[in-house]
Amino acid sequence: MNAPLIDPFARVISYLRLSVTDRCDFRCVYCMSENMTFLPKKELLTLEELDRMCSTFIDMGVKKLRITGGEPLVRRDILKFFNGMSRHLESGALEELTLTTNGSQLEKYAADLFAAGVRRINISLDTLDEKKFADITRWGRLPQVLRGIEAAQAVGLKVKINAVALKGFNEDELFTLTNWCAERQMDLTFIEVMPMGDLGNEDRFGQYWSLKDLRAELATQFTLTDLPDRTGGPARYVKINETGQRIGFITPLSHNFCESCNRVRITCTGEIYTCLGQEGHADLRGPLRQSESNEPLENAIRAAIMDKPKGHDFDYSRQKVDGQVSRHMSHTGG
């Protein structure tokens, strides 16, 4: 095994998020425009290259791998990739293989994912109202996702729901969503909307619902106990005493988690982003394709980690969207 990945701020990199496609069967308004131009297929890492990329990171000490996108389950033959990664779970080199999905394909894939060693998944769901669901995802249909969630739970996958907090959209569903998840033994995480992509005509700033306010609202009906969990990411957790549920708050706009940041992201074209909030990135596809040996890739990975910034610059506090990055979330992976 290679020496572990440690950045200049002494943070150990043990968590890799990998986007396997920029495509999606939904067009969520905060994530994509309706008419997206997707990358030509040849730009994408092949399934074999995705395997080699992840295996190299695992060899360098990555213990947790989250697959994302776009929608990871619309990538053709993606199960081959998951089945390949299960060897690292079996050897103990990898501790967790997981994914973030919109749930649309889970009815089809839940059992196979479980068989490949996936035990926990995050499913994105912002509303339980069929009409609002169709509005926010443009192309998604709620019943299909609900069947996917049921299928996942039926095969034994532990499901966490992720909901983007949107002012004037799902504010009125705070308790409905929370109780619905509690009845199904699912944890729930709220995500503050991020200034990703083009603001275009959609006033994303107007959609901003502070999780501080959301939490205060939740506390009007429930007793919340802070949990000490530190996942190295932007999530903070509380327990709802009445339901036993864990509620997460992801506030990517705050800086307070950067000191413990343990993660890097790889896009579907093989670029490494060492900070979600910054444009800085490096190409790993070139070094990967350059040689059958992994040495150029390992060198490029180490160089990128040495450049990992201390923190990021999103800031709404100045009443305009500062630190906005132009790439879409579906490109870097959420």
CB-facing half-sphere around the CA of 328: CA atoms within 13 A: 24
Residue number, 99 or 305, with CB nearest to ligand SAM: 99
Give yes or no for residue 65 binding ligand SF4 (CB under 6 A): no
Nearer to ligand SF4, 69 or 248 (CB): 69
| Cβ 174 to ligand SAM shortest distance, Å | 16
Say if CB 136 and CB 173 are below 8 A apart.
no
Nearer to ligand SAM, 71 or 298 (CB): 71
Q: Of 124 and 294, which has the nearer Cβ to ligand SAM?
A: 124
- By beta-carbon proximity to ligand SF4, the closer residue of 193 and 240 is 193
Q: Report the nearest approach of ligand SF4 to the CB of residue 137 (Å).
A: 6
Residue-wise burial string across 84-118, b where 16 or more C-beta atoms lie within 10 A, e elsewhere: bbeebbeeeebeebbbbbbbbbbbebbbebbebbb
Q: Find the length of the chain.
A: 334
Distance (Å, whole) CA 82 – CA 117? 8
Min CB(226)–ligand SF4 separation in Å = 28
| Region 89-148 residues binding ligand SF4, contact defined as CB under 6 A | 102, 124
State the SS3 of 231-282.
Answer: CCCCEEEEEECCCCCEEEEECCCCCCCHHHCCEEEECCCCEEECCCCCCCEE
In this structure, what token pair is assigned to residue 97?
Answer: 């293989």
Is 206 in contact with 169 (CB distance < 8 Å)?
no
| Binding residues for ligand SAM, total number by CB under 6 A | 19
Q: How far is the CB of 4 from ligand SAM (least distance, A)?
A: 27
To ligand SAM, the closest distance from the beta carbon of 219 in angstroms equals 23
- Give the footprint of ligand SAM on residues 182-221 (CB under 6 A): 191, 193-194, 196
Which residue reads 């506390």 in tokens? 219
Residues that bind ligand SF4 (CB under 6 A): 24, 26-28, 31-32, 69-71, 102, 124, 330
